[in-house]
Structure 1
Amino acid sequence: MRNKEKRNMHGHTDRKDFSADDDTYVNIEELENGAKLFRSVGTKKATNKKNRVILAALILLTILFLILAAMSGLLLRYYLTAREAISQLKNQENNCTPCPDGWKRVGSSCYYVSEEEITWEEARDECYKNNSVLVIIKDKTELDTLNKLIKNDTRYWIGLTRYPEASIIWKWLDGTQLTFNNWGEGEPNNLNGENCGEIRFGPWNDTPCTETLFYVCKR
């Protein structure tokens, strides 16, 4: 216990006792204030950390948005470029070099149906002279096209021949073997060295290459 002296108006000294409880009270109050300050600082730090996380998330979302926007722009440009290229190809197909006089256009091809009769080899050479080939029929679509161009009661050479002669192998002028065919009933029968192909009223037939027939060129 501490004693403090204080003189009164009569010159006497007054003693006032202070217990240790006074100091304890002061220390607890300071501790409470310190705790409050600590909690305040901790809360502020937590708030700042939360704000930084939110800011980082916003920045990341912004970057992702910009990336998606850039990719969308590139895809749109690619789509427009591809569409333009396709359009140009279609225009080129529709506006390609016109067929020569006397030729008929079907799709992107030109066909020439002769008005004179010559041998198979002569017909082949005439087509070559005109930058074309004695017609090759690889599928039914080509056959249907050809049947619309020729006369039903007329025979025409086509670019089909036995190779080698008198064999059972038939090849087109481009060297490919026969796959699709439209042979007439019982044909080809190879009577009298029939080594060249003709279209005869629709179906095909083998006939001697030295006969003279009309012909069809394609370019």
Structure 2
Amino acid sequence: MAALQTTPWRLISGILAVTCLVLMATLGILLKNSFHKQSIQQTSSPGGTTEAQEGSDCCSCQEKWIGYQCNCYFISNEMKTWAESRDFCASQNSSLLHLQNKDELSFMNRIKFFFWIGLSYSEERGTWLWGDGSLPSPDLFSLSQTKNTQNCIMYKTSRNILDEPCERKNRYICKKQLI
């Protein structure tokens, strides 16, 4: 009789053990995904600093891209001409950086380099335009600093811009909008 009473308890303890293993596996998967998301948001920038990216919880960016405010950014360490940079960005389903506002790249505030961005001069319209044909906001930076409209625009996070010959090789920033 004692053997019959222990059989249901063995069955119950076996079911509990399997349930425990399933819960532990689920927890492991959730933790792995959580740490993977944090590694995307804490990225080493070309300037050598590692900073947490605020406001990037609405997007998931591919490896080597930084998520920030529902956009993904690729900040290059390699040097390319403006056209090569534009073509690389296009091959990644993105474009050279198109700044929306002054604080868009605040997470990059310590970077010391200039980067190609997506501004080019339109002879037809007689003004600087973003890759999508829109005008840059006048409060972003002063384009009156640019002397040669045959050049391309480089940007530094302190809102400094330079016009440089487009054939010169520089770093670049690609931007992929997720929403």
For the superposition of Structure 1 and Structure 2, which TM-score range results when normalised by the shorter chain?
Answer: 0.5 to 0.7
User: SS in structure 1 opposite 2:79?
Assistant: coil
* Map of 2:63 onto structure 1: 101
Q: After superposition, where does 1:51-70 map in structure 2 within 5 Å?
A: none
- Corresponding residue of 1:211: 168
Report if the CA contact (8 A) 2:152-2:166 is conserved: yes
In the TM superposition, residue 169 of structure 1 has moved relative to its aligned partner by 0.6
Residue of structure 2 in register with 1:38 after alignment: none
| Matched letter for residue 113 of structure 2 | T
Gaps of at least 5 residues in structure 1 are 1-92
Count of aligned residue pairs for this structure pair:
119
Query: Who is 2:93 aligned against?
Result: 131
When the two structures are superposed, what TM-score results if normalisation uses the length of structure 1? 0.48
Per residue, is there more helix in 1 or in 2?
A: 1
Q: Does 1:176 align with 2:138?
A: no
Deviations 1:100-156 (A, max 9, x none): 1001110211111001010001100100100111110132132xxx25327532110
Q: Which runs of 5+ in 2 are unaligned?
A: 1-55
Contact 2:58–2:70 (CA<8 Å) still a contact in 1?
no
Counterpart of 1:107 in structure 2: which amino acid? Q
Quick check: 1:164 aligned with 2:164?
A: no
After superposition, the C-alpha distances for 1:45-77 in whole angstroms (9 at most, x for unaligned) are: xxxxxxxxxxxxxxxxxxxxxxxxxxxxxxxxx
Q: Percent identity?
A: 31
Deviation at 1:208, TM superposition (A): 1.1
Aligned to 1:113: 75
The equivalent of 1:71 in structure 2 is none
Tell me the amino acid that sits aligned with residue 73 of structure 2. Y
Larger radius of gyration: 1
Separation of aligned partners in 1, 2:162 and 2:97:
15
**Higher RCO structure (Cα 8 Å, ≥6 apart):** 2
2:90 aligns to what SS in structure 1?
A: helix
Equivalent in the alignment of 1:195: 151
Q: What SS does structure 1 have at the residue aligned with 2:85? A: helix
The CA deviation at 1:172 is 0.2
| TM-score normalised by structure 2 residue count | 0.58
Give distance in 2, aligned partners of 1:156 and 1:95: 26
Q: 1:95 to 1:175 in 2, by over 3 A?
A: closer
RMSD: 2.4
Amino acid at match of 1:158: I
CA gap of 1:130–1:147, structure 2 versus 1, over 3 A, is same
